[in-house]
């Protein structure tokens, strides 16, 4: 009998790689039993990463989901694992140390056994606390090497990185090939090097399928001594997901490895349920392109896990760009044309940005900057005109040391804007914050929940949690679902179904544009629907209420336009005072923010003057070239 090798089903990551959302709690509980009955998995990835945030976005309590979803696996003796982002915890931005520490304690209590911790910069300093806190909380600390392919990310680089993680307390190592661009032979060499230095260290291989290497990489990893291989399953394997269970299982069996057999009856049930979830509502958020493998991604190296959001971002930006082109009598672009321009720009911009591994959140930063560069070049503008604050923090070292050197273009830009570089411990930039959120929960009369899990959720995802508590998240989700359903039925030429009993009512507009004396105003419509469990006026990400608009704008001579589409925010946190009517602002001053492509973009005034009217509504979507405010 050959060497035993185990398999892990990455059920959470399968969904994140496919689209925006994950199944509801009741759906996860239903599919757990057939996954257990398949009898071939030693581990199942149940939560972590974007799992909890997207639960909040469709109005479901993620803590209840995690507890109920992990329970069947705990009872069956199948280990559960989560993905966490080191300094960033479970979100896209850095997290205070006390919140990070509570996270591991809570997740263990909720039934998660293993914490797969990665740092988007492969910075060991950022993972030291993750390993420490995971073990203190009773979890297994697994350190993940974020695999990418560049002149500086060599086999030797990754073997040495594993040594550093183990020295800091990692109990297992994961080779996290999040874009699937790791060349199979190199993957084998990295794994063999780790095993040579640490023969008893458990090593797990995780690879996405998008460029086409992952099946060969799985075999090379197994031959080099991997203990566990991550797999996906139909209907969400391959494409931007992971190598399929059936293919990997058959391949490893043929190669002489020992694996448990697959209960195909249970497999078909799990497959059928997953299809049912897609048909229910999840399919509205899965681009057909995400079901295809694409070797074009070998060049830019973007990860499969972000391709769902990438295609959604591309679609939105393409719509805005084509409107801009149409206004100027120019031909529109197709999605494929813009995608290739984006890929080309990633290859140009990535070295300039210091070769951050293309993994969350830095893959988003590189993609966002590259997309804005590509769009600006199409419009005849210069590169680097729009770098969001999160990306600047990465560039300046506030989230850790970059693997490579910054390019001359970026250094010149930082110098011209008077930016200061940071060389200390990134965690020091984000002081403890649990007491602040506990105080806010007390003020609202909210329970901390078992094991302080609700306190953790609030501190980890403040704006999303407030929207969840107020009911706004659920309302927005149901409205979006109905809009997508109506668009689908309209496209197919059939009438949409009657409103269902699940709370999706007929979609009613929230705004209208009206003209008064030649001036166009955006008017909010109130249907008299009371919100349940309202939060304090400071809800919207700790911001104050929308500044009152003036009804006369006859003196307005200048308009500040939105440079991109997204959600408009007057402020990004409670420490800022929002711009209001009557304020005098200088050219270059920040007048608000647009949350787009998962990052916050500061919007600078390109004119000076006195604010006479604020058009954009706080917390609502805005299109490129929409008027934000008017000046006199």
CATH of the domain at 549: 2.40.50.100
Give the pLDDT band of residue 536 (cuts 50, 70, 90): very low
Q: Are residues 461 and 541 in the same domain?
A: no
- State pLDDT tens for residues 114-123: 999 999 899 9
- State pLDDT tens for residues 49-99: 888 888 999 999 999 999 999 999 999 999 999 999 999 999 988 999 999
Q: Which domain holds residue 581?
A: 537-631
What CATH number is associated with residue 139? 3.20.20.70
Give the pLDDT band of residue 509 (cuts 50, 70, 90): very low
- State pLDDT tens for residues 445-461: 999 999 999 999 999 99
What average pLDDT does the segment 38-48 reach? Answer: 97
Task: Give how far the C-alpha of residue 493 lies from the chain's centroid of Cα atoms, to the nearest Å.
Answer: 34
What average pLDDT does the segment 337-350 reach? Answer: 90
Mean per-residue pLDDT of the chain:
87
For strands 621-622 and 519-524, give the pairing.
Answer: unpaired
- State pLDDT tens for residues 4-30: 999 999 999 999 888 888 999 999 999
* Whole-angstrom distance, CA of residue 326 vs CA of residue 442: 52
Q: Are residues 270 and 194 in the same domain?
A: yes
Q: Which DSSP string corresponds to 44-98?
A: EEEEETTHHHHHHHTT--HHHHHHHHHHHHHHHT-EEEEEE-GGGTTSSS---HH
Whether residue 546 lies inside any domain: the answer is yes
pLDDT score of 163 more than 70 = yes
- Among 243, 270, 290, identify where a domain stops: 290
- Shortest CA distance to 553 belongs to which of 609, 508, 506? 609
Number of domains in the chain: 3
Q: 364-392 as b/e, with b when 16 or more CB fall inside 10 Å?
A: bbbbbbbbbbbbbebeeeebbebbbebbb
273 within 8 A of 28, measured Cβ to Cβ: no
Q: Is 200 helix (H, G, I), strand (E, B) or coil?
A: coil
Whether residue 529 lies inside any domain: the answer is no
Q: Are residues 456 and 589 in the same domain?
A: no
9 within 8 A of 35, measured Cβ to Cβ: yes
Residue 308: the pLDDT is 58
Give the pLDDT band of residue 539 (cuts 50, 70, 90): very low
Q: Are residues 237 and 105 in the same domain?
A: yes
- Among 265, 290, 315, identify where a domain stops: 290
pLDDT score of 530 more than 90 = no
Q: Are residues 466 and 603 in the same domain?
A: no
Q: Are residues 285 and 145 in the same domain?
A: yes
Q: Are residues 120 and 247 in the same domain?
A: yes
Identify the residue with better confidence: 291 or 275: 275
Whether residue 297 lies inside any domain: the answer is no
Residue 499: the pLDDT is 44
- State pLDDT tens for residues 202-230: 999 999 998 899 999 999 999 999 999 99
* Whole-angstrom distance, CA of residue 197 vs CA of residue 421: 36
SS3 of 536-561: the string is CCCCHHHCCCCCCCCCCCCCCCEEEE
Residue 603: the pLDDT is 87
Whether residue 339 lies inside any domain: the answer is no
Q: Are residues 459 and 606 in the same domain?
A: no
Whether residue 160 lies inside any domain: the answer is yes
Reported pTM? 0.80
Q: Return the CA Rg of the chain.
A: 25
Give the pLDDT band of residue 515 (cuts 50, 70, 90): very low
Q: Are residues 163 and 241 in the same domain?
A: yes
- Among 423, 442, 471, identify where a domain stops: 471
Give the pLDDT band of residue 304 (cuts 50, 70, 90): low
Q: Is 175 helix (H, G, I), strand (E, B) or coil?
A: strand
Q: Are residues 199 and 286 in the same domain?
A: yes
What average pLDDT does the segment 413-434 reach? Answer: 94
Q: Are residues 204 and 77 in the same domain?
A: yes
Q: Are residues 449 and 581 in the same domain?
A: no
Helix, strand, coil distribution of the chain in percent, nearest 5: 45, 15, 40
Whether residue 147 lies inside any domain: the answer is yes
What average pLDDT does the segment 474-501 reach? Answer: 77
Give the pLDDT band of residue 501 (cuts 50, 70, 90): very low
Whether residue 372 lies inside any domain: the answer is no
- Shortest CA distance to 47 belongs to which of 600, 456, 478? 456
Whether residue 488 lies inside any domain: the answer is no
Residue 322, φ and ψ in degrees, nearest 5: -70, -30
């Amino acid at each position: 009998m050959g060497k035993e090798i185990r398999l892990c089903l990455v059920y959470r990551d399968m969904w994140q790689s496919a689209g925006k959302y994950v199944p509801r709690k009741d759906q996860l509980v239903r599919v757990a039993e057939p996954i257990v009955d398949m009898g071939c998995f030693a581990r199942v990835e149940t939560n972590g990463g974007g799992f909890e945030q997207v639960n909040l976005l469709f109005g479901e309590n993620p803590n209840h989901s995690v507890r109920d979803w992990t329970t069947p696996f705990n009872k069956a003796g199948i280990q559960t694992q989560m993905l966490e982002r080191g300094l960033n915890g479970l979100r896209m931005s850095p997290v205070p140390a006390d919140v990070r520490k509570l996270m591991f304690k809570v997740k263990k209590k909720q039934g998660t056994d293993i914490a797969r911790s990665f740092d988007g910069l492969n910075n060991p300093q950022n993972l030291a606390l993750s390993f420490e806190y995971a073990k203190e909380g009773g979890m297994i600390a697994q350190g993940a090497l974020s695999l990418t392919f560049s002149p500086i990310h060599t086999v030797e680089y990754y073997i040495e990185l594993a040594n550093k993680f183990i020295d800091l307390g990692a109990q297992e190592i994961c080779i996290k090939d999040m874009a699937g661009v790791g060349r199979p032979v190199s993957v084998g060499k990295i794994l063999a090097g780790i095993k040579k230095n640490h023969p008893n260290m458990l090593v797990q291989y995780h690879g996405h399928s998008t460029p086409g290497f992952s099946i060969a990489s799985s075999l090379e990893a197994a031959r080099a001594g991997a203990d566990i291989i991550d797999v996906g399953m139909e209907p969400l394997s391959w494409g931007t997901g992971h190598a399929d269970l059936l293919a990997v299982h058959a391949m490893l069996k043929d190669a002489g490895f020992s694996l448990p057999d697959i209960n195909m009856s249970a497999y078909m049930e799990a497959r059928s349920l997953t299809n049912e979830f897609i048909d229910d509502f999840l399919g509205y958020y899965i681009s057909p392109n995400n079901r295809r493998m694409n070797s074009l991604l070998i060049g830019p190296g973007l990860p499969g896990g972000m391709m769902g959001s990438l295609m959604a971002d591309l679609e939105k930006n393409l719509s805005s760009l084509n409107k801009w082109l149409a206004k100027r009598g120019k031909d529109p672009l197709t999605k494929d044309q813009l995608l290739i321009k984006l890929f080309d720009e990633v290859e140009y911009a990535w070295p300039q940005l210091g070769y951050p591994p293309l993994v969350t959140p830095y893959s988003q930063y590189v993609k966002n900057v590259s997309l804005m560069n590509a769009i600006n070049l199409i419009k005849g503008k210069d590169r680097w005109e729009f770098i969001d604050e999160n990306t600047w923090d990465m560039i300046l070292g506030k989230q850790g040391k970059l693997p490579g050197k910054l390019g001359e273009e970026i250094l010149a830009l930082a110098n011209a804007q008077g930016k200061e570089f940071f060389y200390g411990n990134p965690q020091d930039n984000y002081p403890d914050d649990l007491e602040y959120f506990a105080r806010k929960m007390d003020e609202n009369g909210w329970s901390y929940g078992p094991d302080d899990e609700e306190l953790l959720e609030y501190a980890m995802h403040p704006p999303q949690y407030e929207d969840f508590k107020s009911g706004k998240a659920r309302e927005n989700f149901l409205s979006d679902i109905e809009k997508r359903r109506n668009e689908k039925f309209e496209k197919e030429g059939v009438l949409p179904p009657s409103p269902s009993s699940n709370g999706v009512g007929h979609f009613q507009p929230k705004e209208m544009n009206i003209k008064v004396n030649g001036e166009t105003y955006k008017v909010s419509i109130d249907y008299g629907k009371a919100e349940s469990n309202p939060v304090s006026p400071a809800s919207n990400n700790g911001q104050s209420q929308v500044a009152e608009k003036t009804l006369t704008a006859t003196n307005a001579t200048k308009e500040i336009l939105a440079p991109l589409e997204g959600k408009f925010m007057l402020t990004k946190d409670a420490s800022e005072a929002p711009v209001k009517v009557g304020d005098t602002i200088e050219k270059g001053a920040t007048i608000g923010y647009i949350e787009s492509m998962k990052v916050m973009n500061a919007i600078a005034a390109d004119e000076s003057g006195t604010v006479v009217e604020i058009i954009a509504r706080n917390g609502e979507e805005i299109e490129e070239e929409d008027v934000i405010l008017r000046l006199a």
